[in-house]
Chains A and B, each alone.
Chain A
Amino acid sequence: MNPLMLTLRALLSHWQRHRVQCFSIFTGLWLATALWTGVQALNTQARSDYARASAVLAGPLQAQLVPREGERFDQALYLQLRQLGWPVAPVLEGRLRFAGEQPVSVRLVGIEPLSLPSTTAVAGVRAADFDLQAFIGTPGQAWVGPDTLRQLGKAVTDQAVSSEGQVLPPFVLKPELAPGVIVVDIGHAQALLQAPGRLSRLLLTGPVEPLPADIAAQLELQPPSDDGGLQRLTESFHLNLTALGLLAFVVGLFIAHAAIGLALEQRRNLIRSLRACGVSLHSLLFGLALELGLFAVLGGLAGVASGYGLAALLLPDFAASLRGLYGAQVGAALHLPAWWWLAGVLVSVLGALLAGVGSVLQAARLPLLALAQPQAWRLAQGRWLRRQRWLAVFLLLVMLGGWQLGQGLVSAFVTVAALLLASALVLPALLDGVLAWAARGRRRPLSQWFIADSRQQLPALSLALMALLLALAASVGVGSMTEGFRKTFVGWLDLRLAADLYVTPRDTAQGEQMYQWLQQQPAAKVVLPGWRVETRLQGWPVQVQGGVDHPAYRSRWPLLEQHAQAWQQLAQGKGVMLSEQLARRLGLGVGDTLALATDGAPPMTVVGVYADYGNPKGHVLVNADWLRKHWPQATLTGLSLDSAPANVPALKAALQQRFALDDSRVVEQSRLKGWSTDVFNRTFAATAALNSLTLGVAGVAMFINLLTLGQSRLGQLAPLWALGVRRRQLVWLSLGQTLMLSSLTVLLAIPVGVLLAWCLVAVVNVQAFGWRLPLYVFPAQLMQLAVLGILTSLLASAWPLWQLARRQPSDLLRQFADEK
């Protein structure tokens, strides 16, 4: 056998006697990789789905021409541009509804394959490779992804019928097509969307030149950077997840690091013996590295597999979150590229390196003849802890800097990360300080020992405690934010959805008929028509809603900020109100002016800002008469009506019968609210799940840390036992120590968590979603988390303590055995 194999065998023999340690390292790497790759799997899936969504039309980074007003324009503009030699390709988009038990709404995209550049791919098919005969002929094709097909409950070659009664071309399965999208030829799209001769936008496939003046009045250029709106919109959400994943990864590495360090410590003698027997430093280090690599690969493989499982488990909620928050469609099944698996294992190897390189280097520097110093490792840890204090101070400065000077989401996360890390790093020093203070004036031997021994354990336990602090603070922070959002959101929803019945007319003409009819119905107490125009402001999609002057509006649109006579100004067509997101995006506040109309009407004053949670588009509220005057294309998109609860079913039935409306067009308040809260609940489900998993990992970290300590603890406890302290008492004392340390940690975690919650609602949310929430602190929730944290650590210490309680005197005796 060659020396390397011999060395490796000698090194590996250690794990046979220290299985728990072996398990710790493996678990650390496994958990770290699992959570990280799980999160990455979700992100990868979502991003590839966005890419598919935007790749529905052409390659990335495509400039496009969009209407200056409204959502659609006459295709004559397209022909005009074409005859001027502009390389443009027309697209018509719209929503198509399908009735059923679960009404489904999909994005219908009409494309014109001949005008696309031949290299452009649509749903993975190059424009040059289109089967034009089948696609644009009769009956044509409706391209659809597997998710959408499942959602619609249809099979390939089926022809679906929309709730408007339009028959779609037969379905053709295109696995690369984004979920929630149906692609048809533009001719079919114009028929299905009842938009003959209308287009939504033009893809610009060549170089960008100034538009001719008459066209520039109607179309505007959206530069390529504006594409990938979903990507940008959802970036914050993914950053959130990535941050959580990273947190879990770090916690996992803590575990591995602690176990690897301890293993090296226990093998000092073995390493020294090997060197003394003539094993070269080179092959020793190689052996150690190989061993580390083995752990990394095994942990990585297990981690990647569990990560996949985790992601598959979370995907439905995750997809619902993205749909609810951003209208982004993510498939219900994971399709991960090969590199994802490889990257997962690679991350594990990197993590193992990070966790173990210090130990290997230490082994390299180990002097051949030095005396064994069991305390050396702890002393070194102590030195590191002192250094940590300075690092923590530095991080606190970074946090203050990020908060005061930073702009954008990344700096917000830097602030949060610095806060969390600084608090984690300062924890051991803080605990040590508290214990030192508590030790003063203790004369009773056991209580003196209790504190002194706790202090001595600190360096070994600090990693686990830091992990607990991080997980707990994150739980408190995210929990406060989520609960706060829930409270705000539900309150806002109650006000906003105050009407009893919501009606969506088929078109404006029908809407006006309904309005007339409803006003004659005594059962309908208040009828509010909603006029709407979809447009863009500074490139952002915006809904402009026209409301009538009615007291009901004032109670339903609580304003975050307002002008003294906000509603009067709005009614007179002099004022405009903006959603919070839009106001932030445009950098406008109450008192600023906004030129909304393009027909030369004077700019209006911003008189109010209101919350509009969960709307990915900007929202503007103006007077309905003003809107109809300046935007002739405004449509009557909705009617809301109040009625006595008893009259609601009859009114609904009458409406449905008279205007031939299906269930999706007449919706009761309770159902609408149900949908909204459902979206919300699922929105944070994935975050909450990851969060509790992180807490779980911290628990495992504690557990493993205490378990590895258990062995060496025996050496500390045996003399006490020999001096006449009963075993049971020792167990209680040990439990008390764990309880004290974890309680102190929990105590620190709560203010850190509240601070984190503040950062999340006041900094991160504003950057990510565009709204700022009031900070709520829920004492009951804090208590619950505190108890959970303490329970986690107690549970973690239960096994090692139970083992201690079960120890035979002979195990303790072995501590005094002569051949040590």
Chain B
Amino acid sequence: MLVVEQLHKSFITPQGPLPVLQGIDLCLARGSSLALMGESGSGKSTLLHLIAGLDRADSGRILIDGEPLDSRSESSLARWRREGIGLVFQQYNLISSLDVGANLAFQARLAGRHDRPWLGYLAARLGLAELLTRYPEQLSGGQQQRVAIGRALAARPAWVLADEPTGSLDEASSDEVLGLFLQLVAEAGSSVLMVTHSQRLAARLAHCCYLQAGRVRDEHGP
């Protein structure tokens, strides 16, 4: 169970503190999925980053299966990212010096959960089997995003956090990739938290939460 309680976060800007999150509360059960929606600047990416342990909140708590994330040390946070979650970004953020195969296996190896058959299956499902020796810059945007998805799922993390995973793709490929993504998340047995702009994509997830000006405006289940 992922629980977020009264989460506050401001950024220091030259014009003074800019409040981004002003008391967020939400929860996501294991095996479930949640879409985070909202306008630009509503704080959805920040919330995702806080949950991923990429940043720390000013106040409030994030509990993973009852354990708070905020009090952890930096190395503990790194382990959380390495072993606990899989991250998918809009910009893919692949490691440009490694080929597709190495990129796919990277996090799983890092987490010590390298599972060759599962990886082979993932590659095949994502249509990357023929591309394993290519380098990220030799791939199209859609292909790169599939590698990012594969990398996030390779270690079968408990939680998959995705930030506009199909934001750079056109509508058709976006639907296709998202379909594949959700299917594989289910096969991996992971829960998913996904930031998106698109009502249409959000509708394919179990829950949806709408942020406005740093607060939860609307939350609804299926």
Give min CB distance, A746 to chain B, whole Å. 24
Give min CB distance, B23 to chain A, whole Å. 21
Q: Is A815 an interface residue (CB 8 A)?
A: yes
Cβ of B81 and Cβ of A722 under 8 Å apart?
Answer: yes
Interface class of chain A by DSSP: helix
Give min CB distance, B124 to chain A, whole Å. 21
B window 14-44: CB within 8 A of A: 40
Cβ of B54 and Cβ of A719 under 8 Å apart?
Answer: no
Cβ of A375 and Cβ of B96 under 8 Å apart?
Answer: yes
Which of chain A's residues have a CB closer than 8 A to the CB of B52? 722
Cβ of A813 and Cβ of B107 under 8 Å apart?
Answer: no
Bound CA–CA A725/B90 (angstroms): 20
Q: Is B167 an interface residue (CB 8 A)?
A: yes
Per-residue contact bits, chain A 680-720, to B (CB 8 Å; 1 contact, 0 not): 00000000000000000000000000000000000010111
Among A443, A444, A456, A722, contact of B93 (Cβ-Cβ < 8 Å): A722
Q: Is B87 an interface residue (CB 8 A)?
A: yes
A window 396-455: CB within 8 A of B: 443-446, 448-449, 452-453, 455
Q: Is A225 an interface residue (CB 8 A)?
A: no
Cβ of B98 and Cβ of A820 under 8 Å apart?
Answer: no
**From A373, which residue of chain B is reached at the shortest CB distance?**
B137
Which of chain B's residues have a CB closer than 8 A to the CB of A719? 93-95
Per-residue contact bits, chain A 795-820, to B (CB 8 Å; 1 contact, 0 not): 00000000000000110110111101
Among B83, B91, B163, contact of A724 (Cβ-Cβ < 8 Å): B83
Cβ of B74 and Cβ of A726 under 8 Å apart?
Answer: yes
Give min CB distance, B62 to chain A, whole Å. 15
Q: Is B78 an interface residue (CB 8 A)?
A: yes
Cβ of A727 and Cβ of B91 under 8 Å apart?
Answer: no
Give min CB distance, A712 to chain B, whole Å. 11
Cβ of A722 and Cβ of B97 under 8 Å apart?
Answer: no
Q: Is A723 an interface residue (CB 8 A)?
A: yes
Cβ of A445 and Cβ of B91 under 8 Å apart?
Answer: no
Give min CB distance, A436 to chain B, whole Å. 13
| Given contacts A375-B96, A448-B102, A723 and B81 within 8 Å (CB-CB) | yes
Q: Is B109 an interface residue (CB 8 A)?
A: yes
Bound CA–CA A723/B80 (angstroms): 9
Most buried by B among A373, A375, A723, A820: A723
**From B98, which residue of chain A is reached at the shortest CB distance?**
A452
| Given contacts A723-B82, A810-B11, A445 and B102 within 8 Å (CB-CB) | yes
Which of chain A's residues have a CB closer than 8 A to the CB of B75? 726
Q: Is B194 an interface residue (CB 8 A)?
A: no
Cβ of A723 and Cβ of B107 under 8 Å apart?
Answer: yes
| Given contacts A452-B97, A724-B80, A809-B55, A818 and B102 within 8 Å (CB-CB) | no
Which of chain A's residues have a CB closer than 8 A to the CB of B110? 445-446, 723-725
Which of chain B's residues have a CB closer than 8 A to the CB of A716? 95-97
Tell me the count of chain B residues lying within 8 A, CB to CB, of chain A.
Answer: 38
Cβ of A818 and Cβ of B163 under 8 Å apart?
Answer: yes
Which of chain A's residues have a CB closer than 8 A to the CB of B81? 722-724
A window 709-747: CB within 8 A of B: 716, 718-727
| Given contacts A724-B80, A725-B110, A810-B11, A816 and B89 within 8 Å (CB-CB) | yes
Give min CB distance, A328 to chain B, whole Å. 56
Which of chain A's residues have a CB closer than 8 A to the CB of B151? 723
B window 135-164: CB within 8 A of A: 137, 151, 163-164
Per-residue contact bits, chain A 543-557, to B (CB 8 Å; 1 contact, 0 not): 000000000000000
Cβ of A449 and Cβ of B55 under 8 Å apart?
Answer: no
Cβ of B93 and Cβ of A726 under 8 Å apart?
Answer: no
Which of chain A's residues have a CB closer than 8 A to the CB of B74? 726-727
Cβ of B90 and Cβ of A818 under 8 Å apart?
Answer: yes
| Given contacts A727-B74, A810-B55, A448 and B93 within 8 Å (CB-CB) | no
**From B46, which residue of chain A is reached at the shortest CB distance?**
A813
Bound CA–CA A809/B52 (angstroms): 12
Cβ of A723 and Cβ of B49 under 8 Å apart?
Answer: no
Bound CA–CA A722/B105 (angstroms): 15
Cβ of A813 and Cβ of B54 under 8 Å apart?
Answer: yes
Cβ of B97 and Cβ of A455 under 8 Å apart?
Answer: yes
Cβ of B54 and Cβ of A809 under 8 Å apart?
Answer: yes
Q: Is B79 an interface residue (CB 8 A)?
A: yes
Which of chain B's residues have a CB closer than 8 A to the CB of A455? 97
| Given contacts A375-B137, A818-B163, A818-B167, A724 and B94 within 8 Å (CB-CB) | no
**From A374, which residue of chain B is reached at the shortest CB distance?**
B137
| Given contacts A723-B81, A724-B111, A818-B164, A813 and B55 within 8 Å (CB-CB) | yes
B window 150-203: CB within 8 A of A: 151, 163-164, 167
| Given contacts A445-B110, A818-B90, A724 and B97 within 8 Å (CB-CB) | no
Cβ of A452 and Cβ of B102 under 8 Å apart?
Answer: yes
Give min CB distance, B77 to chain A, whole Å. 8
| Given contacts A813-B54, A816-B91, A818-B90, A445 and B109 within 8 Å (CB-CB) | yes
Give min CB distance, B168 to chain A, whole Å. 10
Give min CB distance, A445 to chain B, whole Å. 4
Cβ of B97 and Cβ of A456 under 8 Å apart?
Answer: yes
Bound CA–CA A373/B138 (angstroms): 11
| Given contacts A452-B98, A810-B11, A818-B164, A724 and B93 within 8 Å (CB-CB) | no
Bound CA–CA A721/B77 (angstroms): 11
Cβ of B93 and Cβ of A816 under 8 Å apart?
Answer: yes
Using A818-B163, A818-B164 as known contacts, list a sample of 7 further A-B pairs with CB atoms less than 8 Å apart, ordered by residue number in A. Answer: A453-B97, A722-B87, A724-B110, A726-B78, A816-B54, A816-B93, A818-B45
10 A-B contacts (beta carbon < 8 Å): A443-B109, A446-B110, A456-B97, A722-B54, A722-B87, A724-B111, A809-B56, A813-B49, A818-B45, A820-B91
A-contacting residues of B (Cβ < 8 Å)?
11, 40, 45, 49, 52, 54-56, 74-75, 78-83, 87, 89-91, 93-98, 102, 105-107, 109-111, 137, 151, 163-164, 167
Per CB-CB distance, the 10 closest pairs between chain A and chain B, nearest first, are A724-B82, A724-B81, A456-B97, A445-B109, A719-B93, A452-B97, A453-B97, A726-B78, A724-B78, A375-B137
